[in-house]
Amino acid sequence: MRRRAFIGLAALAATAIATPIVRATGARIVIVGGGFGGSACALLLKQADASLDVTLVDPDARYVTCPMSNEVVVGARKIDSLTLTREGLRRAGVRFVRAPAMALDADARQVRLDDGAKLAYERCVVAPGIRFLWSTPEGYDEAASERMPHAWKAGAQTKTLAAQLHAMDDGGVVAISLPTGLMRCPPGPYERASLVAEYLRRHKPRSKVLIFDANNHFPRQSLFTEAWNAAYRGLIEWIPSTEGGTVVAVDARNGTLRTGRGTERVAVVHRAQQPCEPRRLRAGLPCVRHRVRRGLVVAFRRVPEKADAGRDDAAVVREPRAVVEANRTRIGVERVRARAHEAHARASQALAP
Ligand SMILES: Cc1cc2nc3c(=O)[nH]c(=O)nc-3n(C[C@H](O)[C@H](O)[C@H](O)COP(=O)(O)OP(=O)(O)OC[C@H]3O[C@@H](n4cnc5c(N)ncnc54)[C@H](O)[C@@H]3O)c2cc1C
């Protein structure tokens, strides 16, 4: 364990033990965000202590999973099979509020919703996932994403990308543009490229996939490269940053990309996600560790078992691991590398007297 992490753990453990924060029975917990992270947390808290008053806040009545959505893009699966209701949570006794949380007031211990209503809490879990950093590259804004879908939030965008792929003529070029740094699913774009190549091989063999990558390495690169060479030679071309792979601007109307190697005209463009954190929800909360130490807010986010060197994958939730951890009633908060907010706190300690 790194020294910094150890110091963080020791300090947090000491704080959690020394600070009688709230009564456990009937404590109100508001969870912002009903994705994998927030939903798993809600369920597991209820299982750990049925008396907890758990409210989950999310603007969407249903949740469409990103895992397996690549299969929808290539027509191998219907999106309905990935669309989940929140029925299991309701059965478990979790209250669902369908609304976006607009702000969090840590001092008043309230979450404000879009209609101005306020939800009071003793503990708040913030799990709203990640958002797009628009206009990176130049020209890629929300309107452009309707024509050049990112499909990194499963749902309407997934269907748009699938429709474009199916409408494309044989001989068309499918471009995938990848940013540096944070990525919602580090191997996801390469997995998507593989599935699209398989689709092209079967249905549009004169077409190809170009991966414009602002990076020079990617996760599981040797495995992907081996598979591409064996099964999709000539169908997939990976263009790393050093060979001009960085996309600096897009023109969604004309279907062109300005890359380090010139302007490329393509039939279908899919832009991978350049995420940023929803900072509005951090109001008054200088850092994750601070939140935990104040005993007010616990962020429920996981990093992968092995974060790739040079990448900050703090936004990636690894569900199986999260479940195991939460089963031990421990909520983990980790930020990788130099961010220095690494900490663990026992949920039972955080929630109990
Ligand atoms: C194509 C693709 C394939 C993937 N495949 C895998 C895989 O095979 N395995 C894997 O482990 N991971 C995979 N991932 C990654 C996985 O989808 C994410 O890690 C996971 O969804 C993150 O969960 P989360 O709960 O943190 O955020 P999200 O799933 O993004 O959920 C966040 C929730 O918060 C809600 N929200 C946002 N803002 C607010 C607000 N202000 N108020 C209230 N609610 C709000 C949103 O509506 C959403 O429901 C994949 C991702 C992609 C894009």
CATH number of the domain residue 329 falls in? 3.50.50
Domain closes at, from 256, 275, 294: 275
CA 84, CA 254: separation in Å to the nearest integer?
A: 36
Dist. CA 152 → ligand 1 center (Å): 9
pLDDT in tens, 57-102: 999 999 998 888 989 999 999 999 999 898 989 999 999 999 999 8
Please identify, by atom number, the ligand 1 atom nearest to the C-alpha of residue 320.
11
Print burial letters for 129-152: b (CB count within 10 Å at least 16), e (below 16): bbebeeeebebbeeebbebbbbbb
Establish whether residue 8 lines the binding site of ligand 1, counting it when its CB lies within 6 angstroms of any ligand atom. Answer: no
Dist. CA 6 → ligand 1 center (Å): 29
Please report the pLDDT score of residue 290 as a whole number.
Answer: 28
Dist. CA 85 → ligand 1 center (Å): 15
Asked if residue 242 and residue 175 are part of one domain, the reply reads: yes
Which residue's CA is minimally distant from atom 2 of ligand 1?
Answer: 66
51 pLDDT more than 50: yes
Asked if residue 200 and residue 236 are part of one domain, the reply reads: yes
Which residue's CA is minimally distant from atom 9 of ligand 1?
Answer: 67
Q: What is the mean pLDDT of the chain?
A: 73
Asked if residue 245 and residue 169 are part of one domain, the reply reads: yes
Establish whether residue 129 lines the binding site of ligand 1, counting it when its CB lies within 6 angstroms of any ligand atom. Answer: yes
Phi-psi group of 217: left, alpha or beta (phi > 0 → left; psi -120 to 50 → alpha; rest → beta):
beta
Dist. CA 63 → ligand 1 center (Å): 9
For residue 28, how far is the Cα from the chain centroid?
A: 26
Asked if residue 193 and residue 110 are part of one domain, the reply reads: no
How many structural domains is the chain composed of?
2
233 pLDDT more than 60: yes
Establish whether residue 240 lines the binding site of ligand 1, counting it when its CB lies within 6 angstroms of any ligand atom. Answer: no
Q: Please state the rounded mean pLDDT for residues 231-236.
A: 92
Q: How confident is the model at residue 293 (pLDDT cuts 50, 70, 90)?
A: very low
CATH of the domain at 171: 3.50.50.60
Whole-model pTM? 0.75
Domain closes at, from 245, 275, 305: 275
Q: How confident is the model at residue 182 (pLDDT cuts 50, 70, 90)?
A: low
What pairing do the DSSP bridges indicate for beta strands 123-126 and 297-299?
A: parallel
Asked if residue 315 and residue 217 are part of one domain, the reply reads: no
Dist. CA 275 → ligand 1 center (Å): 12
Q: Please state the rounded mean pLDDT for residues 136-162.
A: 89
Q: Please state the rounded mean pLDDT for residues 112-139.
A: 86
314 pLDDT more than 50: no
Asked if residue 220 and residue 166 are part of one domain, the reply reads: yes
- Domain hosting 295: range is 3-59+99-130+277-351
Dist. CA 258 → ligand 1 center (Å): 30
Asked if residue 259 and residue 159 are part of one domain, the reply reads: yes
